[in-house]
Amino acid sequence: MPRFRAAVSTSAACAVLVAAAAAHAGNVTGKVDLPASGPPPLRDQGFLDRTENPHMPIRAVDATPLLVVVLVPQGTPPAAPAKTTTATMQFLGGSFDKPLVAVAPGTEVTIKSCAACPDANLAVEGKPDLIESSVLAANGSKVFKAAQAGAFVIEDKVSTGLRGYVAVFDTPYFVQPDATGHFEIKDVAPGTYTLRIWYADHFVQRGDENVTVEGKRSPPDLPHVAIPTGFPRAGK
């Protein structure tokens, strides 16, 4: 009986501690300042330079689908709540519904093909064995596990041009901004972090901000997270 009491007491104490930790977690919010609205980056130029049509100005490209705001802890990573361990990408034929998916290590990523989609032979760039090597037919699906942190670029070995990004972070504190650039990372454990911006398959070289979360008090909002033009690639 005394043993049972001791166990109950220990469990209760742990529950109180966890509750206290959650209670002390804060939210990091802000807004990404995208580079001045400009044309989409030139990719895969053909024989000619692309030329603007004479009737309308060029539409600015929304880069936010390829952006991720990441809090990288400084020092010992704090305990963190579990992240989603599954994610889904919808293959639309020439692209994915979400050009980038940000996940935690170990997440199973499912790629589903649309009903009108052509056959595709998807593979992870540089890691051809990560996805089962077979044709992804219409309404079919493929699954691969993003075990390590880093960028996984999904391509079609048959039809060139298809590129989907799976960004895997070894920190639980990351989020994709909305179309206006606003972001909110919830339940950040107390500690000091570096705010970094991920674009497509790399961190952006910029003056990263330090973010300190103290207790349950959220740090001040970051209204202007600037991103340099061209999303320059940062070092490690």
Cβ 22 to other proteins, closest distance in Å?
39
- Quick one: 23 or 49, whose CB is closer to other proteins? 49
Cβ 87 to other proteins, closest distance in Å?
18
Site for other proteins in 184-213 (CB under 8 A): none
Q: Does the protein bind other proteins through residue 129 (CB under 8 A)?
A: no
Q: Does the protein bind other proteins through residue 84 (CB under 8 A)?
A: no
C-alpha distances in angstroms, 203 versus 39, 140, 178, 206, 216?
Answer: 21, 32, 18, 9, 29
Cβ 42 to other proteins, closest distance in Å?
8
To the nearest 10°, report the CA torsion of 199, 201, 206, 212.
80
Q: Give burial (CB, 10 Å; 0-12/13-18/19+) of 196.
A: buried
Cα 116 versus chain centre, distance: 27
- Quick one: 165 or 173, whose CB is closer to other proteins? 165
First to last CA, the chain: 56
**Residue of the chain from 44, 75, 76, 236 that contacts other proteins (CB under 8 A):** 44
CA distance 32 to 39: 18
**Residue of the chain from 2, 46, 75, 207 that contacts other proteins (CB under 8 A):** 46
Number of residues that bind other proteins (CB under 8 A): 41
Cα 90 versus chain centre, distance: 16
Site for other proteins in 20-39 (CB under 8 A): 39
Strands 122-124 and 141-146: unpaired
Matching residue, tokens 């007491």: 9
**Residue of the chain from 80, 114, 135, 234 that contacts other proteins (CB under 8 A):** 114
- Quick one: 48 or 82, whose CB is closer to other proteins? 48
Q: Does the protein bind other proteins through residue 43 (CB under 8 A)?
A: yes
Phi first, then psi, for residue 164 (nearest 5°) are: -125, 145
Matching residue, tokens 């674009």: 199
Residues that bind other proteins (CB under 8 A): 39-40, 42-53, 55-61, 92-97, 99, 114-118, 155, 158-164
